[in-house]
Chain A
Amino acid sequence: MELDELKIAWTKIDKRLSDNLKLNEDLLEKMTLGKSKMEMKEILSNEILSVVIISLFLLLFGFVTCRFTSEMKFFIPGTVLCLFSIMELILSINKVNDLTKIDYFNSPVVELQKALNKFRQKTMLFRKIEYCSIPIFVISFIPIFNKTVLNNDMFNKTLPNIIGIIVGITVGLVIYYPLAIWIYKIGYDNKIKSASDFLKELKKFEKEE
C-alpha cells in the first residue's frame, strides 16, 4: 500500500467528514468566545507579579540591612537576604523576558515548540536553584526577623543556647536536603528529561536532510 493511495482514501473520508461535521455555535460561544484568558498570559502575569513582590522584598531587606551596618552579626544575614532577593529577581526577570519573546500565534511549529521546551527546562532548573538556596534564606531570615519584629537578639545568648541553635540548624539541613532532592527527583527530573529529549528530537527534525 502506497501513501499516495492512502491519500486518496483520506480525501474521500475528508469529504464525508466535511458533510457531516456539526459546529455547535452556542457551545463555542459559551465555552470560548466569552473567555479571554490564556495559559501563557496567566504565566506571564504571575511572573510580572513575582517581579513586583520580590522588588518590594528587596527594598525591605535593603532598608533593614542598612540599619545594621555597624552590627556584623545582623549585617551579614541581611546582605544574604538581599542577595537572595536579587537572585530571585534575576530569575523572574529572565522568565518574563523569555515569555514576552515567545510568539505563540505566529511562530512555526518547530520554533514555538523549541521556545516552549527551553522555557520549561529553564523554569525547572531555576526551581532547583531555589530548592538549594531556601535553607540559606531561612537561616538568614530568622535572626533578622527576631531582631526587627520581635526585638530579640538571637546571638546574645549563652553558649549552650548557641550550640542548641547550631545543632537545630544542622539537623534541619540534614533533613531538608535529602527531602528536597527526593521531591525534585519525583516532581521535576522526568519533566526536565522529557523537555530535553523533545528538544533533541526537534533539533534532529529540523536538521535532518
Chain B
Amino acid sequence: MEKDRFISIIKDNQNLIFKICYSYCSDSENRKDLQQEVLMQLWNSFSKFDGRVKISTWIYRIALNTAISYYRNDNKHKGKKVTIDESVISLSNFEYFPEQDEKIVMLYKFIENLNEMDKALILLYLDDNKYKTIAEILGISETNVATKIYRIKKILKEQFSNN
C-alpha cells in the first residue's frame, strides 16, 4: 500500500527528479547513481512525510539536498553502491537534448556554470515555483530570492547577448 502510494508520487513528479539529476550531473553513469540515491532518500523519508508542506516541496528539498551533497562529495570516487545498467527514470521516445532546441542547450550550459545554490534557485524558478515556495525550499527570505533571480537574469541576458 505504502509502496504503491510512493510509486504513484514518484510517477507524478518524475520530471522534476529527472531535471535535477540532469542539471547536477553531466555524466550519464553518475547520473544513474545520483537518481538512485535521490529515490533512496525519498523512500527512506517517505514515512516521515507529514504533509505540512506540499509533496513537491518535500521532493525538491530532498532531491536538491542529495544532488548538492553528491556533487560536493564527488561520489564517483567512492565507488558505486550498486551497479545499474538502466535508469529508474528514463526517456522513452525522444532525446532530452534536442540539438535543434538551441535555447534549451544554451540554458543548460548556463545552468552548468552556476554554483550549486544558484543552480537550485534557477531550477526552481524555471519550474514556475512562486518566490514564497522557492524561499521555503531553500530556506532563505523571499526578498533574497527576488534579488538573486534579478541578478541571475542580468547575467543571463549579458551572456546570451554575447553569444
Contact = CB atoms under 8 A, between A and B. Distances in A.
B19 A17 contact: yes
Interface string B38-73: 011101110011000000001001101100110010
Nearest to B154: A3
Interface in A97-136: 104-113, 116-117
Interface centre among A17, A22, A108 (most CB of B within 10 A): A108
Interface of A is mostly: helix
A101 to B, nearest CB: 15
A158 interface: no
Nearest to A204: B117
Contacts of B25: none
A21 B117 contact: no
A9 B103 contact: yes
B91 interface: yes
A148 interface: no
B156 A3 contact: yes
Contact of B41 (A33, A38, A111): A38
B113 interface: no
Nearest to B52: A106
Given A13-B101, A23-B7, A109 B137 contact: yes
Given A6-B103, A109-B64, A29 B15 contact: no
A194 B91 CA distance: 35
Contact of B88 (A31, A36, A108, A206): A31
Interface of B is mostly: helix
A21 B94 contact: no
B139 A33 contact: no
Interface centre among A32, A35, A107 (most CB of B within 10 A): A32
Contact of A24 (B82, B88, B125, B140): B88
A34 to B, nearest CB: 10
A109 B61 contact: yes
Nearest to A24: B88
Interface centre among B44, B64, B138 (most CB of A within 10 A): B44
B117 A1 contact: no
Contacts of A20: 91-94
B61 A18 contact: no
A191 to B, nearest CB: 9
Interface in B120-154: 120, 125-128, 136-141, 143-144, 147-149, 152-153
19 contacts: A1-B161, A2-B153, A6-B126, A7-B126, A17-B15, A21-B14, A25-B7, A29-B3, A32-B39, A32-B40, A104-B45, A106-B61, A109-B137, A112-B61, A116-B69, A198-B116, A206-B140, A206-B144, A208-B148
Interface of B: 3, 6-7, 10-11, 14-15, 18-19, 36, 39-41, 43-45, 48-49, 58, 61-62, 64-65, 68-69, 72, 82, 84, 86-94, 96, 101, 103-104, 106-107, 115-118, 120, 125-128, 136-141, 143-144, 147-149, 152-153, 156-157, 160-161
Given A18-B15, A106-B48, A209-B147, 8 more contacts: A1-B103, A1-B157, A2-B157, A23-B14, A24-B87, A24-B89, A28-B7, A110-B140
List the 9 closest pairs (A to B, CB-CB), nearest first.
Answer: A108-B139, A105-B45, A1-B160, A110-B139, A3-B153, A22-B92, A9-B103, A10-B126, A205-B117
Interface of A: 1-3, 5-7, 9-11, 13-14, 16-18, 20-25, 27-29, 31-33, 35-36, 38, 104-113, 116-117, 194, 198, 201-202, 205-206, 208-209
